[in-house]
Chains A and B, each alone.
Chain A
Amino acid sequence: MQQQNDNYGRAGSEIEDMVRNGKERLSQMFPSGGSRSAVLMIALVLAVMGAWTAYYTVPSDSVAVVQRFGQYQGTVPPGLHFKLPLGVEVATIVPVKRQLKQEFGFITPGARESFQSPDPNDGMRETQMVTGDLNAALVEWVVQYRISDPVKFLFEVREPRQTLRYVSESVMREVVGDRTVDEVITIGRQEIESEALTKMQALSTRYAMGISIDQVQLKNINPPRPVQESFNEVNQAQQEKEKLINEARRDYNKVIPLAEGEKDQRIREADGYRLKRINEAEGDVARFNSLLAEYTKAPEVTRRRIYVETLQDVMPGIRSKFIIDESARGILPLLNLDGPKPKEAKNE
């Protein structure tokens, strides 16, 4: 009872003290005589004290558990209530609707609930865990809970909140101990949360602590500090891998689409060549056919005309021309046919 009163409603012992102090003070004030008025005074003080301790208010997020001479009387809802004064009845306020939490491995400043934060000397040890592949990891997490049954919470287990801390640590290690370090650090977080929650709920039901656990949330999960760098190396290597591949892809992309384009270009050019050849051929043929038609009408003359015209075209461009008479064949050897300056040899 003592401990409870320390934690919750402090009505009992305080009142006893006040009464005692009051009595002493009164006897000092009236050392002798006037015993009647003294008795009256004592009665009055007692009445005031009684009135003072005869009511209590229960906040809206809580209920009060009332005990008369230590015996459980009942649970009262929020509001203003009356009780037997002077420590006969004691009301313990239990915040049943408040969402409470416990932090493991880290401390949020300004924690008000008892056992909310780890022992400052213990915070580091709390996070260290061994994984199922015998690696080590640092795990931080939060447990959200409520007091679901104030009677059990007060009377079944001596330190329900501390027990909850034990349960939470134990279960988290059990769950982490069944997983590989990769699961713990990266891929299995959600599974860990849900499995830890189920197991913690099962244990807290078995322990009948009057606590219901709503949520388990993993916070930071890290490899141990000396190992962290090598975990980063893996990440960097992963990035590096991507980079190398991307660079190679870049080179590929720089060349291949261009080559495809050039290929198309060449094919198109060839196509152009084809069209040109065919068109030219057809043009040539058309011309030839027309000529031929005329030619057949007068072959000899046409032939002669074309011959002469052609030679007329060709001849002027030639610098050295020799026209030799059959009878003057003798001079042929004297001509310098290969001479660089055909002018010299020109004799006209």
Chain B
Amino acid sequence: MNKIAKAMIIMIAGVGTIVLMSAVYTVNEVEQVIITQFGKPVGAPVTSAGLKIKMPFIQDINPIDKRVLEWDGSPSDMPTKDKLYISVDLYARWRITDALQYFLRLRDERSAQSRLDDILGSETRNAVAKHELIEIIRTTKDRVPLRDALLTNAEKELKMGSLVPIQKGRQLVEQEIFAEAAQKVKVFGIELLDIRFKRINYNQSVRPKIYDRMISERRQIAERFLSEGNGEAARIRGNRVRDLNKIQSEAYRQVEEIRGLADAKATEIYSSAYNQSAQAVEFYEFTRTMQSYKSIISENTTLVLSTDSDLFKFLKGMNPGGKASSVRLSR
């Protein structure tokens, strides 16, 4: 009897435990729970966290996330309005607002994600095809870029170092996609919070052309640098010749001026001295002539002198004035 009773107690306790385990459940802070009875939702979703009780065995719990969830699109290639193939990658944030609706329409998150794939994918394609590439690259319409001080006007004219103008910009395109898609996912009990372009890249097939353009742009700049260098060097060489001529001619001018002044001054000094009186003039003429003989008359000079000259007049006689006496001297 005792043994049976003991066994009974243990059995009842065991069954009780199992029933209890099946009747209680916890709701986490980040989720809500939909109770289903034989697969059919019963009552409103349980949204408050904590320990809860349900009918054991016949009711099941279906936790549904309350948090903001992410959707990460896979990159897909699509053409823009200007026929450029680009690879676009989006992400979206969404949350389940109507858990019951969500549960009925989609059951689980995997199917929700695939719906989002479909809807966002097609809306993205639509939006991208309606816009030129630059519209989804740029955001701020009237931004003036910083300019590399090395770029010149010639390159500005070629639109190098400047931004391609836009009408709308990335944010508006994102909003277009968002507005379309948000409406479409509403029926699943989903609220789309926002979508943003994560990556936009040139498609593999477009890249070589883009690279070629970039290369040619850079080459252009490089060539300009070279010709600028040569030009500046030529200018400097010109300067060199000019400055050299200037300096040398200035030197010549100054030298001649100085010499001229010097000669003038000397002349003035001489003339004021030699011209001081008639006697001075006469004396100067005489002495200067005498002086000049010393340099004029050289070894090769042949001199024919008369005995009438002042020097040799005494050769003829002591008194050349009258009485002739012939004395011959030879040197």
Contacts and interface: CB of A to CB of B under 8 A. Distances in A.
> Interface residue tally of chain A, by bracket?
35 or more
B247 to A, nearest CB: 4
A277 interface: yes
Interface stretch (B35-43, B61-69, B115-123, B181-189): B61-69
Contact of B219 (A173, A230, A289, A292): A230
Nearest to A188: B146
B163 interface: yes
Interface in A222-245: 223-224, 226-227, 229-231, 233-234, 236-238, 240-245
Contacts, number: 373
A159 B331 contact: no
A233 B305 contact: no
B157 interface: no
Contacts of A267: 251, 254-255, 258
Chain A contact residues: over half helix, strand or loop, or mixed? helix
Given A237-B221, A248-B234, A288-B287, A134 B67 contact: no
Interface stretch (A55-63, A212-220, A322-330): A322-330
Contacts of A288: 273-274, 280, 283-284, 287
Given A248-B232, A319-B299, A322-B302, A273 B199 contact: no
> Interface residue tally of chain B, by bracket?
35 or more
B236 A252 contact: yes
Contact of B222 (A70, A233, A252): A233
Nearest to A323: B305
Interface in A245-295: 245, 247-249, 251-252, 255-256, 259-260, 262-263, 266-267, 269-271, 273-278, 280-282, 284-285, 288-289, 291-292, 295
26 contacts: A70-B28, A130-B202, A132-B164, A155-B30, A157-B68, A166-B70, A166-B72, A169-B199, A178-B163, A186-B148, A187-B148, A231-B218, A248-B235, A255-B240, A266-B251, A267-B251, A270-B254, A281-B269, A285-B273, A292-B276, A299-B283, A308-B311, A317-B298, A322-B305, A337-B302, A342-B302
Interface of A: 1, 4, 35, 67-72, 125-126, 128-136, 154-159, 162-163, 166-167, 169-170, 173-174, 177-183, 186-188, 191, 207-208, 223-224, 226-227, 229-231, 233-234, 236-238, 240-245, 247-249, 251-252, 255-256, 259-260, 262-263, 266-267, 269-271, 273-278, 280-282, 284-285, 288-289, 291-292, 295-296, 299, 303-304, 306-308, 310-311, 313-315, 317-326, 332, 337, 342, 348
